[in-house]
A and B are shown apart, each in its own frame.
Chain A
Amino acid sequence: MMIQAGGKLSGVDLGRWVCAAIDGPNESVIRMRSLGICVGRPLDLVCDGDPMIVRVGSTQIGLSRFLAKHVTVQPRSESLEPVEDTAS
């Protein structure tokens, strides 16, 4: 139930999500954002672990679990798909 409702990126299953909120150390937040992990943007959890692999568009990002705890995600509804499909 918790997973369906979304939650922290560190606690969810592999799959397609949308970033809902980010907090955490300032420098890391800037870096995550500049790589495409930012509020309202789709992201896929590709590979779990510490560090884990997240895909944003065509970019694969290695992310430590510590930071994943600061990223809140929601399930991605299909209505968001068009944006995701065109992301290169």
Chain B
Amino acid sequence: VGSPNTGKTSLFNRLTGLRAKTGNYPGITVDLRSAQIEIGNGPSQRTIQLIDLPGLYSLEPTSPEETVAAEALRGNRLGKVDAVVIVLDATAIGRNLSLATEVLELGLPSVVVLNLIDAADANGIEIDLHTLSAELECPVIAVSARTGRGLDDLRNQIQALLAVPATSLPITRTNCVSGCTGCAYAARFDWSDLVVQRSVRGVSHDAPAKLQTIDRYLTSPWIGTLSLLAVMLAVFVVIFSLADIPMSLIEAGFERITLWVDRILPNADRFSPSRLAAAIALSLGVIVALYKSMGFKLTRRNLLISGGFLVGAVLLPSDDFRSLLLDGVIGGVGGVLVFLPQICILFFFITLLEDSGYLARGAFVMERVMRKVGLPGKAFIPMLSAHACAIPGIMAARTIENWRDRLVTILVLPLLTCSARLPVYAMIAALLFGDSPVLASLTFAGAYLLGLAAALGTAFCLKKTIVAGDPAPLVIELPAFRRPSLRNALLTTYDRAVVFIKNAGGVILLISVALWFMASYPKPDPATLSGDEKAQNQQSLQYSFAGRLGQAAEPIFEPLGFNWKINVGVISSFAAREVLVSALSVIHGIGEDGGEDPQGLVNSLRAQQRPDGSPVFSRATCFSLMVFYVLAMQCLPTQAVTRRETGSWKWAIFQFVYMTLLAYVSALIVYQTLTHLGIA
């Protein structure tokens, strides 16, 4: 346990390495990282569970994370606490001694750890550990999570604490928490000052003059905002340029898997070992995904459903099973996992920026701007992340302490343009202005701005209505600038990536199977099919549930300028936007790989005609489709993460409904206006 910015998580990472697991504890939406580690040698060796509690400034919580940490310390959340490791920043002990005393007053066996001792040494700060230990009446150990110094001492001390049966000692400390007038915090701080006075030498209040000057610029209204924009732009340039290579590797990897599975799957025999193994693996995957992401309970009815799925998977005709596995599962999962490199790079840079102390300045600078729309300055980090993918954005919203502010931020994040929208924008921009790169880029930029404006506008409206209330006023610590640890950033990135795969992976699998089913069944009578394979695929899709839904939805989407083929695209990309491109390819008889030959797709889409001979993809329809895709909530994995972070489906459904309505109405206005202006 420790205050934010004390290097608590770095220390945890150092002690546990890759063994740490980010877990959900029952009833909390807060992620807690925990790890089993071995301490001691020989016969005295034992395994302990180390839990990294969220950072907190005091035991009087003001955010969901602090609540969990405070309750966990009191033993109300995660069971009995055997020992507490209190992490302090050695360069600024006075800053967090107040929390340390508060925790020590709980009377649990504790050890105080002075982290960042290397930085304290470098700054000429001398700490008398004995005096400090005597004042605090608990062992004190100096460590550096960055270099690994003192970690063995810490392990031994933890072991020593656990060896003694825990007794609740009455607190004999003479600091006058109750006797002093007024506030307990002031008393604790006064006491901290005394302790620091007795045990620490060489403390200078002031950061080096150079850093102070830099800090003044970074927090000033204009230069601060501009440099923040520059840093963020740089991060995004790096994300989009670096992620290219691993993204193509992942794509190639999934292609290889597809080929390999295609080769080993038998053509006819349903009961061959490889076919059975694949069917069982798929069924297990679906059950685990249901269990993990939907809270599926192992009741008799659900077991029957699972068994039914397995039997269905086994009995499926070979061609269908192949298509389920290759197009449905591998294609669907691969299509989303391809964004993982971008997300990892994003997390990596955000962790570096956060550890360096810069993000707090960013939030400080953005406060002015964000407050105007009713959001706190801290919302800028999630909003930034959401421009790569809404999921890491929603996960990053945890840095916002106030629940209402966090909720509003989460609700508007999916309006920001994520990478999955880019293929759609690219297609529409090419349809509209294929001959003019300038106009095409403007269309692109316009779509980004529309998303941003919609997010800010919606935040403003939500703050006035459903989630009423002003944003919590800013109180933010601006931690000292510090050199970030690469190792810690890598471990954090790994951890976040695992959380992303766990959160999104299961949902993606389920959706992929469901969408495959919608697009494949019912099958038309083979005798009625005509033409080559592409034409047959087109007719099958038209005959399937997805195709029928598209036709049934015609009256709904007609005022937006969509015909039933576009509707099929909209419905198929319901779970993941980028599917629109390949769905439009199939439904227009271009074949599934149409997306890979953009010019071919665009040309044949341009050639499409309505019954009256006018082009389907008129300017009005294109703009309307673009606006729809900027604003619509076409991403089920995001919804699953919203549910998780807000703790209920209620907000996920609300998010879906308001975004869909917003998208529909906006696209309607665009299409009708353009048509009436004669821009068809």
Q: Which of B443-499 contact A (CB under 8 A)?
A: 472-480
Chain B residues with CB below 8 A from A64, complex form = 367, 371, 473-475
Q: Within residues 279 to 333 of chain B, which ones have a CB less than 8 A from any CB in chain A?
A: none
Q: Which residue of A lies closest to B91 (CB)?
A: A58
8 A Cβ contacts from B382-424 to A:
401-402
A1 to B618, CA, bound (A): 71
20 contacts between A and B (CB under 8 A): A24-B473, A27-B62, A28-B475, A30-B62, A33-B183, A34-B99, A36-B98, A39-B182, A40-B182, A53-B478, A58-B203, A60-B477, A60-B478, A61-B478, A62-B219, A62-B477, A63-B474, A64-B473, A87-B189, A88-B200
Contact A86 B189 (CB under 8 A): no
Pairwise interchain contact A39-B368, C-beta atoms closer than 8 A: no
Q: Which B residues lie within 8 Å of A58 (CB)?
A: 91-92, 94-95, 203, 205, 480
Binds A, one of B27-35, B190-198, B343-351, B634-642: B190-198
| Residue contact B367 to A59, C-beta cutoff 8 Å | no
Chain A residue at minimum C-beta to C-beta distance from B62:
A27
B180 closest partner in A (C-beta): A40
**Across-interface contacts of B363 in A (CB, < 8 A):** 62
How many residues on chain A are close to B (CB under 8 Å)? Answer: 35
Question: Is B659's beta carbon under 8 Å from chain A?
Answer: no
CB–CB B473/A25 < 8 A: yes
A67-B477 in contact (CB<8A): no
Q: Does B360 contact A (CB under 8 A)?
A: yes
User: Does A83 interact with chain B (Cβ within 8 Å)?
Assistant: yes
B221 touches A49 (CB 8 A): yes
Chain B residues with CB under 8 A of A59: 92, 95, 477
Q: A31-B401, A33-B186, A86-B194 are in contact. List 16 more A-B contacts (CB 8 A).
A: A27-B472, A28-B473, A32-B475, A34-B99, A36-B95, A36-B189, A39-B182, A40-B186, A51-B364, A51-B367, A51-B377, A53-B478, A62-B478, A87-B189, A87-B196, A88-B200
Bound state CA distance, A35 and B477, in angstroms?
8
The digit string for A65-84, where 1 denotes a CB below 8 A from any CB of B, is 01100000000000000010
B655 within 8 A of partner (CB):
no
CB distance B92 to A35 under 8 Å?
no
**Cβ-based interface call for B606 (8 A):** no
User: Is the CB of B216 closer than 8 A to any CB of chain A?
Assistant: yes
Q: A59-B92, A88-B196 are in contact. Are A34 and B60 (CB under 8 A)?
A: yes
Interface check B58, CB cutoff 8 A: yes
CB of B338, distance to nearest CB on chain A (Å):
39
Shortest CB-to-CB span from B554 to chain A, Å, is 51
With A and B bound together, what is the CA distance between A55 and B212 in angstroms? Answer: 13
Complex interface residues of chain A between 32 and 58 (CB less than 8 A to chain B): 32-36, 38-41, 47, 49-51, 53, 55, 57-58
* Contact residue among A24, A30, A41, A51 (Cβ-Cβ distance under 8 Å from B474): A51
Q: Mark B63-93, 1 if CB is under 8 A from A, else 0.
A: 0000000000000000000000000000111
Nearest to B96 among chain A residues (CB) is: A59
User: Chain A interface mostly helix, strand, loop or mixed?
Assistant: mixed
Listed residue (A32, A53, A87) with the most chain B CB atoms within 10 angstroms of its CB = A87
Closest A residue to B474 using CB positions: A64
Contact B216 A47 (CB under 8 A): yes
**Complex Cα–Cα for A33 and B57 (A):** 9
Distance (whole angstroms) from the CB of A69 to the closest CB of chain B: 10
Which residues of chain A are within 8 angstroms of B360 by Cβ–Cβ distance? 62
Contact with B along A2-42 (1 / 0, CB 8 A): 00000000000000000000001101101111111011110
Contact present for A62 and B193 (CB under 8 Å): no
Inter-chain contact A30/B60, CB cutoff 8 Å? yes
* CB nearest to B93 among chain A residues: A88
Closest to A37 in B: B475
B contact residues around A66 at 8 Å (CB): 473
A61, B200: Cα distance in complex, Å: 23
User: Is there contact, CB below 8 Å, between B475 and A61?
Assistant: yes
Q: How far is the CA of A36 from the CA of B193 in the complex (A)?
A: 11
Q: Which residues of A contact B216 (CB under 8 A)?
A: 47
Residues of A within 8 A of B197 (CB): 86
- Contacting A62 at CB < 8 Å: which of B95, B203, B367? B367
Residues of chain A lying within 8 A (CB to CB) of residue B93: 88
Whether A53 lies near B94 (C-beta < 8 A) is no
B475, A38: Cβ atoms closer than 8 Å: no
B193 touches A83 (CB 8 A): yes
Q: Are A27 and B186 in contact (CB under 8 A)?
A: no
In the complex, which residues of chain A have a beta carbon less than 8 angstroms from the beta carbon of B57? 31, 34-35
A23 to chain B, nearest CB (A): 12
Q: Please, how many angstroms separate the alpha-carbon atoms of A86 and B62 in the complex?
A: 29
Tell me which of A28, A41, A57 contacts B205 (CB under 8 A). A57
Task: Answer whether residue B271 sits at the interface, using C-beta atoms and an 8 A cutoff.
Answer: no
Measured CB to CB, the closest approach of chain B to A82, in angstroms, equals 8
Cα separation A19 to B66 with both chains bound (whole Å): 25
Which among A30, A40, A55, A57 is the interface contact of B58 at CB below 8 angstroms?
A30
Closest 9 CB pairs of A and B: A88-B94, A34-B58, A34-B57, A86-B197, A64-B474, A60-B478, A62-B364, A33-B185, A64-B473
List A contacts of B480 (CB < 8 A): 58
- Minimum CB–CB distance for A74 against chain B, Å: 14
Q: Which residues of A contact B477 (CB under 8 A)?
A: 35, 59-62
B463 to chain A, nearest CB (A): 15
Smallest Cβ distance from B381 to chain A, in angstroms? 15
Q: Which of B77-122 contact A (CB under 8 A)?
A: 91-95, 98-99
A38 to chain B, nearest CB (A): 4
